Amino acid sequence: RVLSLKEDSDQQRLRLAFIMATSRAPNGSEIRILTDTLSEQRKEFNAHPERASEFIANGKSLPSSDYEPVELAAWTSLGSILLNLDETISRE
């Protein structure tokens, strides 16, 4: 969903993804961490494109052909990280 947004930069997309996941804006250090994480994921998947294809092949739906597998895998990984933050998990 974040990749389909008409935002111009990764930072804008990261900010919106964070807001969608947590219902609050990220602070500067959170944006830096997310930016670094996205960069690391891209490097890893670029170094091993077969891992990117395997990663996005998991799940019930087919991966979108609108995006390069490496880019889709990097953003999917980041989305998973955001959805696993303590802030996004309800506990009783």
Spans of all domains in the chain? 27-92
Encode 65-83: b = buried (16+ Cβ within 10 Å), e = exposed: eebebbbbbbbbbbbebbe
End-to-end CA distance of the chain: 29
Q: What are 7-21's pLDDT values in tens digits?
A: 678 999 999 999 999
Helices within 1-92 (DSSP H only): 10-22, 28-47, 49-57, 69-83
d(CA 4, CA 80): 17
pTM of this prediction?
Answer: 0.85
Residue pair 48/74 in contact (Cβ under 8 Å)? The answer is: no
Average pLDDT over residues 2-8: 75
Residue pair 78/37 in contact (Cβ under 8 Å)? The answer is: yes
Comparison of pLDDT for 77 and 2, the residue scoring more: 77
Q: What are 15-54's pLDDT values in tens digits?
A: 999 999 999 999 999 999 999 999 999 999 999 999 999 9
Give the pLDDT confidence score for residue 91 in this predicted structure.
60
Residue 59 predicted with pLDDT over 70: yes
Give the pLDDT confidence score for residue 1 in this predicted structure.
74
